[in-house]
Structure 1
């Protein structure tokens, strides 16, 4: 019985060596596999204001960020000059871009059918939003990334 066991053991040892003789994928294949796994549409951590950092869960931080961003935009864009430039509309979409270096840009999104002095509107936006509170950029795998979002702003006449 020992001879059968010894023969089986030796046979198994030679066969198991083939298990370790697998070909290792090259760097490019591994990189491509990892890149395919990453969800590029979503960030790991949303952009945030300093006031929202103390919140524990991500959903609360996200809601805090959106609420503060909306209220700050609403407050800073409450101006008669925008209402005069856009007399026929009661709200405007604002594209907010938060760059990875924490710079922020604001761009009004207008219908093509609106006849507006675009340069004058951009100037009012830049003037009103120049002292906007600092925003920390979103994070993806621990690295700051660019984020874009759109928010509606109600224009009070």
Structure 2
């Protein structure tokens, strides 16, 4: 008879556990009205994107050439619901034309409503995700 230790059971469970998926995505109160997880995720992403666009559109950005770029912005949300911009992949032309773009992205996050963190197995967990943000200046 083989005796299984609690450490072996835990190790087996951790290997089977998919750390890339959460039971409940991070959310805003307005998104909680939606019933399905996919809808909540879309609402969450749209809220962040629209808030950033609103901030960018309120700024007077002057460029010497037209800019049409998609910036990939990586965010992290702590288990306490604190959002942080980790980094942004910005094209060199866009960066040269709008050198304060990353600062503007940070400023847009100030106006976000309270964030409810992701949940995995009943526990609030830290998550990280990337959103494409379309930048167009003529």
Q: TM-score, normalised by structure 2?
A: 0.77
C-alpha separation in 1, matches of 2:54 and 2:98: 21
Deviation at 1:47, TM superposition (A): 0.8
Aligned positions, number: 135
Looking at CA atoms only, which structure, 1 or 2, has the larger radius of gyration?
1
Q: TM-score, normalised by structure 1?
A: 0.69
C-alpha separation in 1, matches of 2:49 and 2:134: 10
Unmatched 5+ residue regions in structure 2? none
Aligned to 1:47: 26
Cα distance change of structure 1 residues 56 and 98 upon mapping to structure 2, 3 Å threshold: same
Higher helix share: 1
RMSD of the alignment, in Å? 2.8
Aligned to 1:123: 103
What CA deviation, in whole Å up to 9, does each residue of 1:8-52 have, x standing for no partner?
Answer: xxxxxxxxxxxxxx4431121011011112111211111111011
Higher strand share: 2
Q: Higher relative contact order by CA 8 Å / sep ≥ 6: 1 or 2?
A: 2
SS in 1 for 2:112: coil
Matches within 5 A, 1:74-85: 74-81=53-60, 83-84=61-62
Unmatched 5+ residue regions in structure 1? 1-21
C-alpha separation in 2, matches of 1:48 and 1:86: 39
Cα distance change of structure 1 residues 31 and 86 upon mapping to structure 2, 3 Å threshold: farther
